[in-house]
Structure formats: structure tokens, C-alpha cells
Amino acid sequence: MKESVYHQQTKNLVISPTRGTIYDSTGKQLAVSAPVDTVTINPSSIVVTDSDENIATQKTEELKQKVAKAFSDIFGLNYEETLEKVKSTSSIETIAKKVETDKITQLTNWMKENDIYSGINIDDDTKRYYPYSNLASNLIGFCGDSNQGLEGLEYAWNSVLTGTQGKITTSKDANSDVILDKDEKYIPAENGSNITLTIDVNIQTIAEKYLKQAVEDNNCGRGGNLIIMDPTNGDILAMATYPDYNLNEPFTPNATLSQNWDSLSSESKSNALSSMWRNKAVSDTYEPGSVFKVITASAALEENITTTDTPNDFFCMGYEDVSGIKIGCASSVGHGSQSLRNALENSCNPALIQLGSRIGAENMEKYMRAFGFFDKTGIDTSGEAVGAFFSNVGPVELATTSFGQRFTITPLQMITAVCAIANDGLLYKPRIVKQVENTDTGAISTIEPEVVRQVISKETAEQVRDMMQSVVENGGGKYGQIKGYTIGGKTGTSEPNPNDPEAGYVSSFVAIAPVDNTKVVVLLTLYDPQGDSHFGSQIAAPVVSKVLAEVLPYLGIQSSDTSNTDVQVSENYQTSSLPDVRNKTIAEAKKILENAGFTCSFNGSNEDLVTEQVPIQGSELISGATIKLYSTGNDARVSVTVPDLKGMTLAQANNSLKAKGLNIKIVGSESGKVVLQEPIKDSSVEEGSIVTITLDEEIKNAN
């Protein structure tokens, strides 16, 4: 009896720990907890006492209605549902979680004004915020209402980030008022630890910008992902998935899902959200296609089966007959006699089939295992998948394996293997968390890079890198070139599996930069592209080139190019710097611009002062470009839709943009056709804006 009375008269007040912060490698906060409050009630305590039982009942009903009305008004709740909670027979009901300070202030003011306190509890809590919203959403993941990690790194590192609850044991009287008790016990909370990631917000932003462009520009039915790694230590510098989602509203469907959201069943909605949250780079498998050919080449060179430049080592007639099955090449007429270097430049399936036959199934499995394809990489995040392979490898299975089809791996496994080639054959475990900080003691634990094994020799790795450079400079990866940098790469285009034809093509490109002393490896994977092309050489390589063109200078890797021009062009397309005509009269500005070789467009009179110009001063523009001028009272903007320029010649693209009132910036070969544009087609931009196009000669028969 005594023990029962004690439990009725004591209450454990929980002290919530603060969840640790997630930082990027530069110290920027990616996930942070902020103080909020949770409002609960004890319905049995919201009563009015009176000697007359009927009056007490009536006044209690009125009080409960009044309280419910206040809650519904302040917190935007349904009144009837709230009233049901206030009238509940439960000992406690939750009214609102994760309430911001302004709402709590409104509630406390109302309580003071109405002298109503009994039964209303305001308890300290924390709320998880993601300052960058969608950035790295599929990697970071999110938390539930109780601050427990539900997805991604938040889930994988939940025990580290969460900390341990504390509590205060107090005695309370019948009115729930605290009794000063010498037996009160205080157990402090242990706050969660902070973790620092290897990803860099700036590099992640670049990756996401170009991934989004690639997915939308090529109508990729199942999205895409892009990974950037440092091969010298296994650090993930960026890991992007698109479509992504807003971490602050994880249960709100993104733009892709919302198109038919209302028509979905509850089960379908749940499955769709789970798919939206998935980190494709880690959790989804795919057939790597021709990117895998660098692995086959590595195995052959390591086993001394061939050399990089043995003349007439392979012969392609447009197909290879394997046990009576004709397996085709991207070139239906064939590539003829080739060395291994030629075969990689041409991405020739028959040549790789011949090479795979020489390697043999046992050796092929040995090297695939050494490169890590049969095991998870062990990256410290949730949901890592492992691929599916042939149980019995005959001649046909060995043939398709040699050029990367009919087995599956994850993009993370693929880039990790290429990183070993880039790092003189030394394979590192991918690292995503590099530091853990105990927020209570300040102690810092570093998670050191972890070497897995030496996969191939330094000499073999150098030979493969050299051939990858040839692929970019002379072969199917030429759209991956960047002026002033040595780039190695390999394209990939895997065909739909007959057992899953709805999966579509997978287009990819892997790049290493620079070729010697490689600091960055990039893998872009696009799923089910439904645009004008599905070849990795045409739709993935140009995007990776754009990514590296921004990432390499950011990392301090200097270009050897000292020229200021992106392209050698004829006199019609020579560029000059746009003068600053702000604070000039329209008449003066017009004269200055015409003398510089530009035209202008404006509203208002010649005496008006120019307040803004589009494009901005200093922009490099071709002769004849049109400049929009704005003045006070005449600054109404016009938005235009960017046309689709893919496949156009320079003249066609320039004319198309002129018709829309847009200006052009040229990158690449003037005699080529547009392979990339920024902003992408159908983007809404301000009239006068610059559209950058990348031109190159068309690549044929390369996948």
C-alpha cells in the first residue's frame, strides 16, 4: 500500500537531450535542433468546483469549450477534435508538438488573461531543422516527431546523435503542485554528439544543380544520381539524388509525386514516399554497362593477358557470336582490327567479349570480388544494397559480364572501384562521416580513412588511367573534355533487361581528374532517359564536364589554360565585355552600347536614367547582343521561356535565342552542335538573360 501511494504522489519529469548537429566538411550546419515546446493537458484537471453539482458540471463544460477554442485558434487545430481531447477521460492528451516560441507566447498570454492554468502543461522540447531544405536530402534523411532518426544518416547515426534522457523525480500533491522534497533526484541529460561529414556544401550544390538539369533535360523517367569522391582517402565530397525532397517537410510529396498524388491509394502513397526518400546511389542497383569495361581491362592487364596497344589484338565485325547467340556492337558495321586502347575508345562490345573469354570466368570473379562488387562497401549510412550476379557463369554470361550487363551493382560500388584505379590500385572504404564531437565534454573522435586492399598494381592502374584519358581525348568520351585539364573517363549505356523492359536504359559517365595524381572521381547515372538520346556519351559526359569545370577550380586544382576564351569562333561570334551604363541617360547608354557593338531595348524616354541593365555589366557577349535597360518607373520585367537548343548549330541556336530576346554564351567547337544548354529548355528567365550552350562534334557509335 505504501509503495502504491508513493507512485501516485511522485512524478518523473523527463529532461530531453539536445540532438547533435550534422555539419558539412566546411563547418556549415546541415541539420540542427532548436528549442520548442510541447503542449499537453490533463483533462481531469480542467474542472470547476462548486457545491452545486449541476452548476459545477455546466461551468466545467463551458471551461472545456473555452480551452478547446483557445487551442484551436492559437495552433490552427480542428475545434471538434480538440474539444474531444479536452473532454477525454485519459490522464494526459497531447495538444500540439514542436510549437514555436510565438505560439507559446500567445498561449501563456491567454492563460494569464483568463487565469486558467490547471491541467495545461508546457514542456521543453526540440525540433529538427534543415537549413538547406532539399540539399543532400536523400543522404541526410530526417527525424520523426520524437526526434528519432527515420531515414539516411539521421537513422544510421541515431544512437550517436540522440543522446540520453535525463529526469527529475519529484513529489506532487493532489493538485499536481510540486512538494519541496529532500528526496528529489536530478539525473542530467546527456546531449547527442555532433557529427561532421565529408561532403562539402559547395560541391554538393554544384552536383545537384547539374544533376537536376540532366534529369529534366533528358526526361529521365526514374531520376538519377551523381557521386563525387576523393580517391586518395575514400571521402564522399557529394552524393546527390534527383528528384529530391524538402527535409523540413518530408511527408509532403515533391513536385514529381504531387502530379498524381490525389489519385493514389494509401498504400501507394506510402510506397511513393519511401521511394522519394531513397538514396539511389546507395540503395538502388543497376546494370553498369560500358563503364564496367575499365574493370575488365584492369583484370586483363594485371594478368598479362594483353597490353594497351597491341595492334590487331581484337576484331569487331559489328557483332560477336557467343555459343550461337549474336551479341551486337554499337557500331553495326564494326570497328575492324583494334588494340585494347582502341576498343575502349570505341566502347566496342565484341572486343571486350573476346577479352573476357581470355580472362575466364574464374579470374573475372576474382577481380570483381577484389574490386568489391560482391560485398557492401560498408559506408556509414542506412539502406546499402548489394547487387545480383549469375549463379552459373557460362560463355554467354561471361560475355555480357565483360561489358557490364546482366548483373547489378550500386553506383557507390562502381565509383569506389574506379577510385581504386585512380589511386594506383589501392581501394578505400567510402567515408561519409569523418568526425564525432561529444557536445558535453568537447572530446573529438576522428574516423580515419580505411584501406580495404590493393586490388591491382600501380603499373596496371597507370595504364588504365592512360587509356581512360584516350577515351576522353579521342573516343566516345570527348564530351567530357575540359579545357586546361587532363580528364579520363568511360561512358556507359546499359540496355533494358529483357526480364524488366520497363526499367529502360541506364546512361552513365565516370570521370577521373586530373589523370595523374587524381583528386576527384565523378559518376553520373541517369535512369530511363526518354529524350533525343540515351547514350551516356551524349547525355552524361557533357554534364560531368560541367560539374568538373566548377569543382576542380574550387578545390584549387589549377587549369593549364591561360586563354580567356571558351571557344575559337569566327568574326561573327567574337565577344567583348559589356560596358556599365547604369546612371547614364538612356540616350547616353544607347550610344555607348552601339559603339561597343551591342543593341539595346528599353521603355521610357531618352532622358531617363538607367537604373539596371540585363545582362549585368562585365558580361562577355557576342557582337549584336541585345541589352535590356531599365529606369525608374519603367522597370517592368518580362519573363520568357528558354527554347530547346539541343542538336542545333551555333547559328540556329543564336537565331532561336534572339527571337526570344535572349543572349548567348558559347562553349566548345563552333562547327559542332549543341549538346548542353544552361538554363535547360522550358526554364522561365528574364528577357535579356544569357543562355550558355556547349557545342561539339557529334559522337557516333559510342555508348
Please tell me the distance from the alpha carbon of residue 667 to that of residue 670, in angstroms, as a whole number.
8
Reported as a single tens digit per residue, the pLDDT across 22-76 is 999 999 999 999 888 888 999 988 988 888 888 888 999 999 999 999 999 999 9
Find out whether 425 and 299 touch, Cβ atoms under 8 Å. no
Q: How many CB atoms lie within 10 A of CB 442?
A: 7
Mean predicted confidence (pLDDT) in 661-672? 85
Phi, psi of 639 (to 5 degrees): -95, 140
pLDDT at 173 over 90: no
3-state helix, strand, coil in the chain (%, to 5): 35, 25, 40
Please tell me the distance from the alpha carbon of residue 226 to that of residue 232, in angstroms, as a whole number.
19
Find out whether 74 and 110 touch, Cβ atoms under 8 Å. yes
Q: Which residues contact 146 (CB under 8 A, 6 or more apart)?
A: none
Q: Which domains does the chain have, with CATH numbers?
A: 2-197 (3.90.1310.10), 283-554 (3.40.710.10), 571-696 (3.30.10.20)
Please tell me the distance from the alpha carbon of residue 387 to that of residue 385, in angstroms, as a whole number.
7
Query: Measured in Å, how far apart are the chain's first and last C-alpha atoms?
Result: 81
Phi, psi of 548 (to 5 degrees): -65, -35
The pLDDT value recorded for residue 14 is: 62
Find out whether 491 and 273 touch, Cβ atoms under 8 Å. no
Mean predicted confidence (pLDDT) in 653-673? 88
pLDDT at 9 over 50: no
> Closest Cα partner for 22 from 434, 431, 378, 377?
434
The pLDDT value recorded for residue 281 is: 97
The pLDDT value recorded for residue 623 is: 87
Reported as a single tens digit per residue, the pLDDT across 191-216 is 999 999 999 999 999 999 999 999 99
Find out whether 140 and 22 touch, Cβ atoms under 8 Å. yes
The pLDDT value recorded for residue 337 is: 97
pLDDT at 497 over 50: yes
> Closest Cα partner for 542 from 508, 512, 567?
508
Q: Which residue has the higher pLDDT, 638 or 485?
A: 485
pLDDT at 188 over 90: no
Please tell me the distance from the alpha carbon of residue 329 to that of residue 347, in angstroms, as a whole number.
9
Q: Which residues contact 486 (CB under 8 A, 6 or more apart)?
A: 469, 513, 514, 515, 516
Please tell me the distance from the alpha carbon of residue 391 to that of residue 564, in angstroms, as a whole number.
55
Please tell me the distance from the alpha carbon of residue 501 to that of residue 301, in angstroms, as a whole number.
35
The pLDDT value recorded for residue 701 is: 58
pLDDT at 177 over 70: no
Cell of 531: 529524350
Reported as a single tens digit per residue, the pLDDT across 410-464 is 999 999 999 999 999 999 999 999 999 999 899 999 999 999 999 999 999 999 9
Q: Which residue has the higher pLDDT, 2 or 393?
A: 393
The pLDDT value recorded for residue 180 is: 46
pLDDT band at 604 (very low <50, low <70, confident <90, very high): confident
Q: Which residues contact 126 (CB under 8 A, 6 or more apart)?
A: 16, 18, 19, 33, 34, 35, 36, 147
pLDDT at 657 over 70: yes
Reported as a single tens digit per residue, the pLDDT across 233-283 is 999 999 999 999 999 999 999 999 999 999 999 999 999 999 999 999 999
Which conformational region is residue 27 in: left (phi greater than 0), alpha (psi within -120 to 50 degrees), or beta?
left
Cell of 506: 541506364
The pLDDT value recorded for residue 182 is: 47
Reported as a single tens digit per residue, the pLDDT across 529-544 is 998 899 999 999 999 9
Q: How many CB atoms lie within 10 A of CB 415?
A: 27
The pLDDT value recorded for residue 10 is: 45
Q: How many CB atoms lie within 10 A of CB 82?
A: 23
Q: Which residues contact 281 (CB under 8 A, 6 or more apart)?
A: 225, 226, 227, 239, 240, 241, 410, 411, 412, 525
pLDDT band at 570 (very low <50, low <70, confident <90, very high): low
Please tell me the distance from the alpha carbon of residue 497 to that of residue 289, in angstroms, as a whole number.
11
Three-state SS sequence of 290-358: HHHHHHHHHHHHHCCCCCCCCCCCEEECCEEEECCEEEECCCCCCCEEECHHHHHHHCCHHHHHHHHHH
Reported as a single tens digit per residue, the pLDDT across 346-357 is 999 999 999 999
pLDDT band at 626 (very low <50, low <70, confident <90, very high): very high
Please tell me the distance from the alpha carbon of residue 511 to that of residue 155, in angstroms, as a whole number.
31
Three-state SS sequence of 472-514: HHHCCCHHHCCCCCCCEEEEEEECCCCCCHHHCCEEEEEEEEC
Q: How many CB atoms lie within 10 A of CB 277?
A: 22
The share of the chain scoring above pLDDT 90, in percent, equals 71
Mean predicted confidence (pLDDT) in 147-168? 89
pLDDT at 479 over 80: yes
CA distances from 217 to 223, 479, 529, 687 (A): 11, 16, 9, 21
Report helix angle 101-114 to 53-75, nearest 10: 150
Find out whether 584 and 609 touch, Cβ atoms under 8 Å. yes
> What is the SS3 assignment for 566?
coil
Q: Which residues contact 119 (CB under 8 A, 6 or more apart)?
A: 41, 42, 43, 44, 45, 46, 47
pLDDT band at 299 (very low <50, low <70, confident <90, very high): very high
Q: Are strands 224-230 and 433-437 parallel, antiparallel or unpaired?
A: unpaired
Phi, psi of 438 (to 5 degrees): -75, 115
Q: Which residue has the higher pLDDT, 369 or 699?
A: 369
CA-based radius of gyration for the chain: 32
The pLDDT value recorded for residue 232 is: 98
Mean predicted confidence (pLDDT) in 106-112? 92
The pLDDT value recorded for residue 169 is: 61
∠412-415-417 over CA atoms, to 5°? 105
The pLDDT value recorded for residue 509 is: 98
The pLDDT value recorded for residue 298 is: 98
The pLDDT value recorded for residue 18 is: 87
**Average pLDDT of the chain to the nearest whole number:** 90
